[in-house]
C-alpha cells in the first residue's frame, strides 16, 4: 500500500464518528452471516445523526476504500472492503513489530 493511500485511510478514521461508523458496519457484518452488509437506515437510528451527516461520513470512508456502498431500492447498504482491511492490518502489524 502506498503512503498516499494509507494517509487517506488514517485521515478517514481519525474522525471519531467515522471510526464508530466503520466499526459498527464491521460489527453488523460479523453478526449477520447470511447478509454480510449493513443497512444504513438502521445506522442512522443507532447514531442519532442526520442522514446527510451519515452520508458525508460514508462518502469519506468510501473515498478511502474502507467501505463499499450500494443502493438497493430506497435503502443504502455498506460493506467493509476486505482487501483494504487486510492491507491496513498488515501495515499495523508491521509497525507493531518494530
* 76 Cβ neighbours under 8 A, 6+ residues apart: 39, 40, 41, 58, 69, 70
Q: How many domains does the chain have?
A: 1
- Tell me which residue of 43, 62, 68, 70 sits closest to 54, measured CA to CA: 43
CB atoms within 10 A of CB 84: 18
Predicted pLDDT at 97: 57
> For position 66, which CATH number holds?
1.10.10.10
Predicted pLDDT at 90: 78
- Judge whether 41 and 73 are in contact, CB under 8 Å: no
Predicted pLDDT at 40: 72
Question: Within the chain, which residues score under 50 in pLDDT?
Answer: none
Q: What is the pTM of this model?
A: 0.80
Grid-cell match 466503520, residue found: 22
Predicted pLDDT at 98: 53
Q: Which domain holds residue 37?
A: 3-97
Amino acid at each position: 500500500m502506498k503512503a498516499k493511500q494509507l494517509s487517506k485511510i488514517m485521515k478517514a478514521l481519525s474522525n471519531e464518528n467515522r471510526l464508530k461508523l466503520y466499526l459498527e458496519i464491521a460489527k453488523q457484518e460479523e453478526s449477520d452471516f447470511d447478509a454480510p452488509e449493513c443497512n444504513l437506515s438502521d445506522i442512522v437510528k443507532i447514531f442519532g445523526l442526520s442522514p446527510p451527516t451519515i452520508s458525508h461520513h460514508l462518502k469519506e470512508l468510501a473515498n478511502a476504500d474502507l467501505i463499499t456502498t450500494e443502493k438497493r431500492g430506497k435503502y443504502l447498504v455498506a460493506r467493509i472492503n476486505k482487501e483494504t482491511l487486510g492491507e491496513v492490518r498488515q501495515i499495523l502489524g508491521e509497525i507493531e513489530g518494530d
